[in-house]
Amino acid sequence: MTSPSRSRDRSAPAKRAGFAAPQWDYPRLENAEPIEVIRWVVRTIERLAVATSFQSSGLVILHQIKTLEPGIPVLFLDTGFHFDATLEFRDHIAKQWGLNIVNLRGEHGSPGRQAELYGRDLYRRDPNTCCAINKVEPLQKELEGYDGWISGLRRDQSPLRAHTPIVEAQLLPSNNEILKIHPLANWTKDDVNGYLAEHAIPTHPLLEQGYASVGCQPCTAPLDPHERNERAGRWLGFDKTECGIHSFGKSGGARETEAEQ
């Protein structure tokens, strides 16, 4: 599914070979406000999507983009292992804001079928494989239909995300290259919370129960309120802080833990 057609800014290159050094218009985006980055994105990238798990940063992006680009595909990785609260919150926001939700699932189709193919509790035995088949591969397949996608990553979320660029190239397994845009890279948690409060935007209900970053239920735990690394509650007991959707196909190589920096 792709977004409605619109006029592309023809001064921007349509294709980029390999990992070419970012040039056209990127430097001025580095210090731009998120809304300016999003305006640039919807004007420049013809086939565009947003990927979100309906956490606070994603809500800021959805709120800003929904008036600029109504109907843009909102990609949601429906792993089958989400908290019920996440799915209910997704449906509530989607209805309230009229979002075009595209639910993505792995080829196996369901947790039950996953257990048949890979054995029970794969997320406990091999979380990297579980993330790969439920998140990375479905997203990679879907992104073949787009020229770029927007993510809510911020530099202050974890040490591994500290150098997140505003715009970067990402290579798909097919060798097609797309752009990945992080409008909130320069923002802090306080910036996000201030925006949500200013616009009376509801937040994920599990935040009130001590969760700083909400992923799949078996792999997410609440945090001590003084913990600065928002990703510290993910995959406890494993040397892993990323699912892989933000690390594949990057010129610097894939990384899943801060130890790999």
**What mean pLDDT is predicted for residues 114-126?**
95
Q: pLDDT: is 149 or 252 the higher one?
A: 149
Q: 3-state DSSP call for residue 100? A: strand
The pLDDT tens digits of the residues spanning 33-90 come to: 999 999 999 988 989 999 999 999 999 999 999 989 999 999 999 999 999 999 999 9
Q: Is the pLDDT of residue 9 over 50?
A: no
Place of tokens 């700083």: 212
Which has the minimum average pLDDT: 94-103, 120-129, 190-199, 214-223? 214-223
Place of tokens 């998120």: 34
The pLDDT, as a whole number, for residue 98 is 96
For residue 4, the tally of other CB atoms under 10 A from its CB is: 9
* Percent above pLDDT 90 for the chain: 58
Q: pLDDT: is 247 or 97 the higher one?
A: 97
Active site residue 216: no
Antiparallel, parallel or unpaired: β 167-171 and 148-150: unpaired
Which of 130, 216, 219, 243 is an active site residue? 243
* Domains of the chain with CATH codes: 28-253 (3.40.50.620)
